[in-house]
Structure 1
Amino acid sequence: MSMDNISLGTAGLDELVPSRYAVQVGDIDVLVISDGVLPITSKTMATNADPAEFADWLDERFLPADVLDWPLNVVVLRSGDRTILVDAGLGLEFPDFPRAGQLGRRMEAAGIDPAAVTDVVLTHLHMDHVGGLLSDGLKERFRPDLQIHVATREAEFWDSPDFSHTEMPAPVPGVLRRVAAQFLDEYSGRLRTFEMEYEVAPGVLVARTGGHTPGHSIVRLASGGDQLTFAGDAVFAPGFDNPEWHNGFDHDPEESARVRISLLRELAATGESMVATHLPFPSVCRVAVAGDVFRCVPAVWDY
């Protein structure tokens, strides 16, 4: 899967607004793919924020005060002989969210055969990260020897998940529990769990951070002097200039803030690139720091 093959679409499947973006990290091919957008109650983005301050934050960014569109990004990597899917999007099970769950057709548009994927890395088991693995029309196209990497602590957590510190809309915890249980039931034989970190392929390291969920993990890429981190749900859009604001999906909000601040400080110090699930597509950016707050500096598109 060369960069040329990654960026080449199939006739009739391309869209007016691009849904994939290719980046090179040394010898590692990286393709960010949009799984679409998911509507979310705005206040879920900052549950502990002063309402007036959060209203100003939304207004300054021309974002709606009630419901906003939450981007969903996944990544396909090629390192050596491994083709790795990092997270799998929402899937097609949720008709109330018709603009999400686009992974299958967008992989096809990018010329990526699901059967070519050797590994899946899951940052965590929330439904918008595993749903694509459960979607009819996609899951049967994955190879039978597909290896799925997830932190041991994450798999254990969903045996009896604790939602006591989350602030989600009422139906969501039950759906999260059901989808995670279905995933673990269907894929138990393919799971490759790790304790703290695991090198999936040359230069591709998955590392557990905890916080957002107990086994939440990030993926660190390093090759030829270049670096990029896929931060999963460790960083949301408000988390740069308000890193201590809590997200309603955080299972441990205080630890999530500590993880976020530590990661952003590290990325600001190294100058490496970052991609995150819920930052606006393609979300490739660098992190600048000023005192106790951070700034997302979007990459200049290469076209």
Structure 2
Amino acid sequence: MSGVYDLYAIRYAARAAKRQEHFIGGDPHDSPMPMDYFVWVAVDGERAIVVDTGFTEEVAARRKREFLRCPIDSLNLVGVDPAKVQDVVLTHLHYDHVGNFHKFPVAQFHLQEPEMHYATGRYMRFPKLAHSFEPDDVVGMVRLNFARRVRFYNGMKEIAPGITLHRIGGHSAGLQCVRVNTKRGPVVLASDVTHFYENMESGRPFTTAFHIGEMLEGFETLEELAPTHEHIIPGHDPEVMRRYPAPRPDLAGIVARLDVDPVGGPAPGPSHPPH
């Protein structure tokens, strides 16, 4: 292993939405602002580290999401066999990030310990918070823990050369982002630390929240971890597929390469007051 990774985003689902759904405090505009759903994979030679596992077609139908393709089967598009993957990072346990875990028969799962406490603890009696979780997924993680297949962290952890995990919280109690070393420098997979570029750039967090203060601090942490805004990848922004090239023409709109420079223009800097 060189510790320098090829890095891919795989788009597996989408939903129609409006701007006011994506910002705490709403938005003065009523225009469409669709949301994409991704999983990510970092590849260094024979080793692949998957980040998040998406949701199933059944969950998509129940939650009225447009299911485009199985995110785990789609790993084969970039030469990754899920049956051989040994490491899966779960940025958090919300339904769109932890489904399909059963498709990784030999993997260890990497999770921040506060996330397991949160998903199995007292706050799940509140529908506003529990809505983001699928009980079967959470129970599945508990069972995998008893099978000694979950590794827990509290804070920053290097899980492989060139890959570090960073606990952020905010959107979910144990939300973590992933910093991946690539040939263009470290790229930060923000996951839901910032759903869209605009959440971070405007300093307005997404509407699903556990701790708003941690969400705001999370924007600062992303900026500290990444050399530029072009090295921060939001968790749900369709703009990612426009800014980054496909590995080959037939994968346009399905897979984006994040280890190369964006082609759709530079990411703007923050419009909120400086720290």
Q: How far 1:253 sits from its partner (Å)?
A: 1.9
Match of 2:20 in 1: 43
Alignment of 1:229 with 2:188, yes or no, is yes
Aligned with 2:176 (options 187, 202, 217): 217
| Structure 2: gaps spanning 5 or more residues | 245-261
Match of 1:183 in 2: 140
1:46-83 Cα shifts (integer Å, max 9, x gaps) = 1313xxxx133x54xxx2xxxx5311121111236531
Match of 2:53 in 1: 88
Q: How far 1:199 sits from its partner (Å)?
A: 1.5
Q: How far 1:222 sits from its partner (Å)?
A: 2.4
Match of 2:247 in 1: none
Q: Secondary structure of the residue that 1:103 maps to in structure 2?
A: coil
Within-5 A mapping of 1:258-269? 258-264=217-223, 267=226
> 2:158 corresponds to which letter in structure 1?
E
TM superposition outliers: structure 1 runs of 4+ over 6 Å: 163-166
Within-5 A mapping of 1:267-286? 267=226, 270=228, 273-280=231-238, 281-282=240-241
Aligned-pair identity in percent equals 23
Between the two proteins, the alignment pairs up a number of residues equal to 246
Alignment of 1:156 with 2:123, yes or no, is no
Match of 1:104 in 2: 72
Aligned with 1:143 (options 102, 105, 113): 105
CA distance in 1: counterparts of 2:215 and 2:58, whole angstroms? 28
Match of 1:79 in 2: 44
Q: Secondary structure of the residue that 2:53 maps to in structure 1?
A: coil
TM-score normalised to structure 1 length: 0.69
Residues 32-41 or 246-255, more deviating: 32-41
| Structure 1: gaps spanning 5 or more residues | 2-24, 295-303
> 1:197 corresponds to which letter in structure 2?
M
CA distance in 2: counterparts of 1:257 and 1:221, whole angstroms? 22
CA distance in 1: counterparts of 2:267 and 2:125, whole angstroms? 32
Alpha-carbon spacing, 1:88–1:124, altered in 2? closer, same or farther (3 Å): same
TM-score normalised to structure 2 length: 0.76
Q: Secondary structure of the residue that 2:42 maps to in structure 1?
A: strand
CA distance in 1: counterparts of 2:54 and 2:219, whole angstroms? 22
Alpha-carbon spacing, 1:101–1:178, altered in 2? closer, same or farther (3 Å): farther
Larger radius of gyration: 1
Alpha-carbon spacing, 1:278–1:179, altered in 2? closer, same or farther (3 Å): farther
Alpha-carbon spacing, 1:70–1:45, altered in 2? closer, same or farther (3 Å): same
